[in-house]
Structure 1
């Protein structure tokens, strides 16, 4: 019989732990159940990594200053701009999102950002994921702190799921963190490793033992993986998704939701938006993937009756500079647009003024809306949580949004 000491020394365990989230908080096994508070509502966050160019996503095609700043990169109406309202239009690649917009299931917020913006990918993403000020450094994320605050006595690891190999800062709290997995079946197979199965069934030595904390963590991870695997088999999507990693991850998310997994927060990423050179082709392809993926995701949830209880937030760490560069691309900027999707939106369409291209700060857009006001609105009005406690301060909420 393998001893605990031998188990920890085992190279098999060492390799397995690369895939097992050892950060999981120790939980009461009786708490492993579905959570259906806040009227069953869920949040799906879509992160556009690299700094998506908002001006070529939601295009101010009636503004001459836009074309003056982008003589070759600016997208012309004759290129197929999908017209919205207030002189704005979606990128021609965003046809599925335009269809959802026309159905009243998309809201656009312009010039979202924060004071004293940072143009570093890593720092700005940390700010957005943690919900901090630009001069504040936090080790927890806004959604992780939500997981900390929500139902402390019955929290489960799968209450926050990131469909990826690693967990973002956004999903890490002080006490509890989300669970990262690409595929419920493969994750379940990993936790069925015979060494993990053996150790997860052993009796703990004592509450203060670090070794027992590890063992209990493995047991809870295995239990969660079994729950996710068994529950996810309830629904298999028949909707066609893009044959890309992003499309597959959205399909997995939809299958988890439609199977009845009791998770409140889901997190998905699409990368590649750092378009310093030859932007149009690269961004157009990515926005097409985004639009097709979200269109299929919405269709999937609508068919299962789950879209009205789902809110999708699409953001990027910053926008791009207003003026194109010499390589027919754009460099790191500041404020950007944010998209919201869902069947339960109370306000739809263009929700605030178009970007002000007349009054720039060092060649960049000035933010009209602090992103933490949007977070506060989602936390308080959608997830029915204490936004001030989670964000560490009170931010003005957007009235009647969700």
Structure 2
């Protein structure tokens, strides 16, 4: 007989493992197969937490206003800027991404943002993750709603995997949620806990729809999912040399899952530390090098396995920084920013729109040229084959011929 203490203990364990019901149902019986509405493509979202300084990432190195606004932070051409064309260049630390750019596997979108921008980290990140207006609060994420919309009648649903300890709002839908895990091995080990294993094998004698019935089903399905992910991920072990950083390790995990044939269509990875109010140059340089070298190894891994053409990588941050540097040799919270797109399936490549206009600022901040939800709409409809209007709540102009 299950006691209240047993139920509470199991609930805590379920919460800590981010169990979700109806997720990857009956995988061990059905194995890999083509999913409902699947076009074989996948999306990898890379979140740069803290507000990356876009002007020192994609540098307008021939713009005098840039250097007047940043007398010590402005990066000079002779410092090794990796020129791209249109008087723009990568930060000198971004050599691997420059290589992908030169191979025609990257698109750069400048001055991406939204109306009435919010300069709070938490609120602006919520806006980007939920795809809401700045004056509206939405409790689901754009990728979670993608999972909802494509899985309404799926026996084996699409799913999203976040390589992290916690699940982002972006991956939470109304009906389905993504799954958060650091590695298939660790996730599998957690589900092998003796108590969890015992409970997951039991059949609930409680009424259907009760809390205990829900918990029994959740535990059983999650244990099945963990077993599937663990055993399938053994198919491929990467031989590519990744940098020894947490971000790159997470990308390696994602690559091994993709190259093993896991049928997840959405992956989410984060790199934090971009809130550079003080002594920005060294801190951002290290982070951009981590971003560049990690994504360079990730792209090489997918290319070798033949999966890069079917993978689109989207890199964003919740906002950019102010145009002028502050008194601490850093930058404060700004608004519009650049978005990077990488993949072998891009139809349009290079610099895809005009550089930010430094003569036309909004109280010292960049004015946005492109609503980020237009990018989402394009990715959802043209890359993933989903109903972007239903997922985003209204129609946004898509970027024609991008993917």
Name the CA distance, whole Å, in 2 between partners of 1:193 and 1:157: 26
* Closer/same/farther in 2, CA of residues 228 and 7 from structure 1, 3 Å limit: farther
Q: Is the 8 A contact 2:110 2:356 kept in 1?
A: yes
Residue 73 of structure 1 corresponds to: 73
Q: Is the 8 A contact 2:39 2:385 kept in 1?
A: no
Name the CA distance, whole Å, in 1 between partners of 2:30 and 2:321: 45
Q: Is the 8 A contact 2:59 2:91 kept in 1?
A: yes
Deviation at 1:151, TM superposition (A): 3.0
Deviation at 1:6, TM superposition (A): 6.5
Name the CA distance, whole Å, in 1 between partners of 2:132 and 2:152: 23
Residue 154 of structure 1 corresponds to: 154
Q: Is the 8 A contact 1:157 1:179 kept in 2?
A: no
Residue 6 of structure 2 corresponds to: 8
Structure 1 residue 169 corresponds to structure 2 residue 169 = yes
Deviation at 1:203, TM superposition (A): 1.8
Q: Is the 8 A contact 1:45 1:314 kept in 2?
A: yes
* Closer/same/farther in 2, CA of residues 26 and 289 from structure 1, 3 Å limit: closer
* Closer/same/farther in 2, CA of residues 203 and 26 from structure 1, 3 Å limit: farther
Q: Is the 8 A contact 1:25 1:175 kept in 2?
A: no
Secondary structure, counterpart of 1:4 in structure 2 = coil
Deviation at 1:209, TM superposition (A): 1.5
Deviation at 1:22, TM superposition (A): 3.5
Residue 18 of structure 2 corresponds to: 21
Q: Deviations for 1:255-309, whole angstroms, at most 9, x for unmatched residues?
A: 0000000000000000000000000000000000000000000000000000000
Q: Deviations for 1:204-261, whole angstroms, at most 9, x for unmatched residues?
A: 3332211110110011111110010000000000101110100100000000000000
Q: Is the 8 A contact 1:158 1:224 kept in 2?
A: no
Name the CA distance, whole Å, in 1 between partners of 2:189 and 2:4: 22
Residue 214 of structure 1 corresponds to: 215
Which residues in structure 2 correspond to 1:64-213 (within 5 Å)? 64-154=64-154, 159-205=159-205, 206-213=207-214
Q: Is the 8 A contact 1:19 1:190 kept in 2?
A: no
Residue 380 of structure 2 corresponds to: 379
* Closer/same/farther in 2, CA of residues 8 and 158 from structure 1, 3 Å limit: farther
Deviation at 1:157, TM superposition (A): 7.2
Residue 389 of structure 1 corresponds to: 390
Q: Deviations for 1:61-114, whole angstroms, at most 9, x for unmatched residues?
A: 011110010010000000000000111000000000000000000100000000
Name the CA distance, whole Å, in 2 between partners of 1:56 and 1:155: 47
Name the CA distance, whole Å, in 2 between partners of 1:155 and 1:69: 56
Q: Is the 8 A contact 1:22 1:214 kept in 2?
A: no
Structure 1 residue 333 corresponds to structure 2 residue 334 = yes
TM-score normalised by the chain length of structure 2: 0.96
Secondary structure, counterpart of 2:361 in structure 1 = coil
Q: Is the 8 A contact 2:49 2:318 kept in 1?
A: yes
Deviation at 1:38, TM superposition (A): 3.4
Secondary structure, counterpart of 1:75 in structure 2 = coil
Secondary structure, counterpart of 1:339 in structure 2 = strand
Residue 283 of structure 1 corresponds to: 284
Deviation at 1:32, TM superposition (A): 6.9
Q: Deviations for 1:22-55, whole angstroms, at most 9, x for unmatched residues?
A: 3434775377754444321000000000000000
Name the CA distance, whole Å, in 2 between partners of 1:401 and 1:22: 36
Aligned length: 399
TM-score normalised by the chain length of structure 1: 0.96
Name the CA distance, whole Å, in 2 between partners of 1:318 and 1:328: 19
CA RMSD in angstroms comes to 1.6
Q: Deviations for 1:287-340, whole angstroms, at most 9, x for unmatched residues?
A: 000000000000000000000000000000000000000000000000000000
Secondary structure, counterpart of 2:39 in structure 1 = helix
Name the CA distance, whole Å, in 2 between partners of 1:24 and 1:14: 13
Q: Is the 8 A contact 1:171 1:177 kept in 2?
A: yes
Secondary structure, counterpart of 2:242 in structure 1 = coil
